[in-house]
Amino acid sequence: MTYQTHTLDNGIRLVHKHWPSMVANCGVIINTGSRDEKAREKGMAHFIEHTLFKGTRHRKAWHILSRIENMGGAMNAFTTKEETCIYSTFLRQDYGRVLELFADISTNSTFPVKEIEKEKEIVLDEIDSYLDNPSEAIFDEFEELLFQGHPLGTNILGTPDHVRSFTRKHILRFMKHNYYADQTVICSVGDIPFSRFIRLAEKYYGTISTEKSKKTRIPFNGKPGFQQEKKRSNHQVHTIMGCPAHAWNHANMYSMSMVNHVLGGAGMSNRLNMNISEKYGFCYNLESIYQPYSDTGTFMIYMGTHPGYMEKTISLVKKEMQKMREIKLGTLQLHRAKKQLAGQLAIGNESPLNQMFSMGRSMLLYNKAIPVEQAIQKVENLTSETILETANEVLAPDNLCRLSYKLK
């Protein structure tokens, strides 16, 4: 699999994968997210992602929103703790129009005061919708506790008070301090010659300032320890057990991915599902999630249970984690786990949109695109000893924290 890369004179990086299809995907990923916010700016990166579409020097909001849709395509955006992304899926002949629109949004947004005030209400509704869903809200609150006092603990959506306080001046100040060409990647998967992709990027992005980013991120070095229960008016008890985990560039990142896969990753044959849900019928919603960041990560096991089964389920989950720490995977178990995880990587990579996100993120983190074949080889090279070592390092009982939403 061949990825083509290029860096514009101002530092913007391009990465492209030729994909012979009528449909193309293109995105702009900026190395800025909620962890880059100061205390008074909580929710600002996400709010900017919303308001970028509310008008530029050349377009009203309606013209922005309808531009790609009128060409038969679709446009969207998202914000994470470390990234902001605008992306589109469109017909391959419309590359120029898409890149021109992205550049207009990125460099000419005017953030009209009237639109800012309207968008505050949209974001406040979004916050309320998450709070109404305990199975989602508990993840945000768990990470707030896990990274307490650190920017990684900031809720991506912010708080109602912070969102209500945002002004156009605050938006422009945040962008000035956090959005730079050398922290930007334009990624593409589609049927376009790379030379033309470069020319279009130079045409629409080449005049952006060459000033380099001066921002630094505070590393997370904490060792949290909490066991909290909160009362909520739910039908289920919702619980997360978890701890800090390995970063993207950690030598054992793939080993941690395997620990997560064996315990409760995608599929029905993972240990949590087979040994708890299938065996006892205690828990319908039961999964584990491993989320690496640039300098740390999180490992979480989520369970939604009937109140009468909560303690039994927690005990069984702890038992499965203990087995991961104490018993090496056998030869057949390891072979099956490798095939499963490698298959999931390959299947996920069949989506051009997923490829685009993966390429862009790799360029931000490593300044190179990592082929799926290389990731699969990393999985194939894993040993039972390394997996056991990782499980003991990350899943040590002293590391584990817990948050539960119990019934009132």
Residue 216 placed within a domain:
no
Q: Which of 44, 21, 23 is nearest to 32 (CA)?
A: 44
pLDDT, mean of residues 137-149: 95
Sequence length of the chain is 408
Question: Is pLDDT of 334 > 80?
Answer: yes
Positive or negative torsion for Cα 351, 352, 354, 358: positive
Q: Which of 29-38, 65-74, 205-214, 326-335 is predicted least confidently?
A: 205-214
Q: Which pLDDT score is estimated for 224?
A: 83
* Calpha distance 192→99 (Å, rounded): 13
* Calpha distance 93→213 (Å, rounded): 34
Q: Which pLDDT score is estimated for 266?
A: 84
Question: Is pLDDT of 223 > 90?
Answer: no
Question: Is pLDDT of 26 > 70?
Answer: yes
Residues 258, 200 share a domain: no
Q: Which of 46, 90, 50 is nearest to 68 (CA)?
A: 90
Residue 160 placed within a domain:
yes
Residues 309, 190 share a domain: no
Question: Is pLDDT of 155 > 90?
Answer: yes
pTM, two decimals, is 0.94
% residues pLDDT > 90 (the chain): 92
Q: Which pLDDT score is estimated for 1?
A: 57
Q: Which of 393, 61, 56, 403 is nearest to 230 (CA)?
A: 403
pLDDT, mean of residues 218-237: 89
Residues 137, 49 share a domain: yes
Residue 214 placed within a domain:
no
Range of the domain at 128: 4-205
Quote the DSSP letter at residue 30.
E
* Calpha distance 235→173 (Å, rounded): 44
38-48: b (≥16 Cβ within 10 Å) or e:
eeebbbbbbbb
Residues 72, 35 share a domain: yes
pLDDT, mean of residues 11-24: 97
The 10s digit of each residue's pLDDT in 48-84 is 999 999 999 999 999 999 999 999 999 999 999 999 9
The 10s digit of each residue's pLDDT in 251-283 is 999 999 999 999 998 888 999 999 999 999 998
The C-alpha R_g of the chain, in whole angstroms, comes to 22
Q: Is 172 helix (H, G, I), strand (E, B) or coil?
A: helix
Show the beta-strand stretches assigned E in 262-368: 283-292, 297-305
Q: Which of 324, 325, 196 is nearest to 272 (CA)?
A: 324
Instruction: Quote the tokens at residue 215.
Output: 């921002």
CATH number for the domain harbouring residue 65: 3.30.830.10
The 10s digit of each residue's pLDDT in 385-401 is 999 999 999 999 999 99
* Calpha distance 27→37 (Å, rounded): 23
Q: Which pLDDT score is estimated for 340?
A: 96
